[in-house]
Structure 1
Amino acid sequence: MAVENSNYALERLRELLRVTTLAADGKLPTERALSERFGVGRREIRRALEVLEAEGLIWRKQGAGTFLGQRPDSWSDHAASLVTGTNFMEIMEVRLRLEPQLAQLAALRAKDADIERMRDLRDKIYERTDADWRELWDGSLHRLIAQSAGNQLFLSLFDVINRVRQDPVWQSVRERARKQHKTLRESRDQHTDIIEAIASRDPARAGEAMRTHLLTLQERLIRQTSMEQSDQPAFIEETTKS
């Protein structure tokens, strides 16, 4: 019965990762909460979590909990401090030089299962309307592409930049820049272009698709921040008059 319960728990956890909105930091419910939710013992939940961790779908930290994705390495934890005080233009400059290369390598090295997961993650980005959901799954998609490139040093560099997604200010600017329905459709199409170029094993096309996607995002961010800056003096003037 224990084996059956473990398999049942694993199936339910996979479903949880597919369809449930997680916290902004990707944290899963506690083992006790999962045990009560699925009606199985905590031992079975723990076994199922071990399987998911071995597959690279989650990572666990004692005293902190269980999180979606792979465990950040200690170097990226330390290096995350480097992004403190930076701005989105500096971040986009680095992304534009790093991620097209990662997409090219992914086109050469990604496994078929990786590509299917990329398609699944792309779909998840657009299932909901809240910013936390989109940031979580968009970050997971871009990290999977980076991981599929098969270069650990590149992946560590990517993780440093990807940490910025956890900053509420960064998330807020990104969400305001892509609120229009047309923008969401364009973003989905661009993600599809990247994935299908990788699936076609076409490095040049994959790199260019990623570059186009990031340039579009950069343009939206510039436009959004410019609009906000141009609106600020008028607001200040009105406040002064009143």
Structure 2
Amino acid sequence: MINLPASTIERDAAGIVRARLLGIIENGNLPPGGRLPTERDLSETMGISRRAVRQAMESLLADGLIWRKQGKGTFAGQPPDKTQMLAAEVAGETNFTELMDARLCIEPTLAAMAARNALPADIERMRNLARRTLESTDNASIEIWDGALHRLIARAACNKPLFTAFSMIDEIRSNETWRGIRSKARSLETLRISDTEHHAIIDLIEAGDPDGAEAAMRRHLTTLADNLKRILHS
């Protein structure tokens, strides 16, 4: 019998917990407010150490898929902020062209700034999120991972005012109507094209090439816009 090191066993256990939590998030099987089970509940129901549960939650936190509020618990998605109320008002008053124009104004600049400020750990997480986007087999999962990738790039830019502007646009595009339009424009071919474009952006961010990262993000968003236009005008 081979005795595995304790660190390996714990890492595997954390992977199991992470997969369980991802399943809950992706299936939308959450109570109102998106509150996740506590570390204690997960540890007891799954028979896994609290340390492994904590490691799994830390990895999801780093990916931008969950957030914590002291004394309240851990929640799926991003923490609420003032931009959400404004975004909810704007969502019904805007249109596809305005939304994509706004993304093209902000996200290429954020990609350029990320090329100056992203840390090696950010790059690693970006690659993991891009991989999970391509590997996803349903639209809900694709939305989760793709959105997390774009948020991480925006956060890695290290500019709070621009990140706030991005967050409002991101909140608008997460509207159910917009998600439905994107799902109609999505295919295996478009996913592969997006994956190539995602990795091109990440490569240029890692290389510390602001101009290249900005141009790559602009190309990516233009490709998305062209795909959506075909659906909207068909």
TM exceeding 0.5? yes
Give the structure 1 partner of residue 153 of structure 2.
145
Aligned residue for 1:157, secondary structure, equals: helix
Give the structure 2 partner of residue 209 of structure 1.
216
Matches within 5 A, 1:1-242: 8=10, 12=14, 16=18, 20-21=22-23, 22-23=25-26, 27=34, 29-31=36-38, 33-40=41-48, 57=64, 58-61=66-69, 66-68=75-77, 70-72=78-80, 74-85=81-92, 86-179=94-187, 181-227=188-234
Structure 1 residue 78: Cα displacement: 2.8
Query: Amino acid of the residue matched to residue 88 of structure 1?
Result: F
Seen in structure 2, the aligned counterparts of structure 1 residues 24 and 38 have a Cα distance that, compared at 3 Å, is: closer
Aligned residue for 2:26, secondary structure, equals: coil
Structure 1 residue 9: Cα displacement: 9.2
Query: Amino acid of the residue matched to residue 98 of structure 2?
Result: E
> CA deviation digits over 1:108-160, x for unaligned, max 9?
11001100100000000011221100000000000000000000111111111
Seen in structure 2, the aligned counterparts of structure 1 residues 14 and 162 have a Cα distance that, compared at 3 Å, is: farther
Seen in structure 2, the aligned counterparts of structure 1 residues 126 and 92 have a Cα distance that, compared at 3 Å, is: same
Structure 1 residue 8: Cα displacement: 4.5
Structure 1 residue 80: Cα displacement: 2.0
TM superposition score normalised by structure 2: 0.79
Moved more, 133-142 or 57-66: 57-66
Aligned residue for 2:135, secondary structure, equals: coil
> Is this contact kept in 1: 2:110–2:153, CA < 8 A?
yes
> CA deviation digits over 1:182-235, x for unaligned, max 9?
2111111011111101011111110000000001111111110111xxxxxxxx
Structure 1 residue 169: Cα displacement: 1.5
Q: Equivalents in 2 of 1:45, 1:79: separation in Å?
A: 38
> CA deviation digits over 1:46-69, x for unaligned, max 9?
86688568857431357685224x
Alignment RMSD, CA only? 3.3
Aligned residue for 1:20, secondary structure, equals: helix
> Is this contact kept in 2: 1:92–1:218, CA < 8 A?
yes
Query: Amino acid of the residue matched to residue 183 of structure 2?
Result: E
Q: Equivalents in 1 of 2:111, 2:216: separation in Å?
A: 9
Structure 1 residue 14: Cα displacement: 8.1
Moved more, 77-86 or 181-190: 77-86
Seen in structure 2, the aligned counterparts of structure 1 residues 111 and 19 have a Cα distance that, compared at 3 Å, is: same
Structure 1 unmatched ranges of 5 or more: 228-242
How many residues in Structure 1 have an aligned counterpart in Structure 2?
Answer: 219
Q: Give aligned-pair identity as a percent.
A: 37
Structure 1 residue 15: Cα displacement: 5.5
Query: Amino acid of the residue matched to residue 22 of structure 2?
Result: T
Query: Amino acid of the residue matched to residue 157 of structure 2?
Result: A
Query: Amino acid of the residue matched to residue 124 of structure 2?
Result: E
Structure 2 unmatched ranges of 5 or more: 1-5
Moved more, 112-121 or 167-176: 167-176
TM superposition score normalised by structure 1: 0.77
Give the structure 2 partner of residue 239 of structure 1.
none
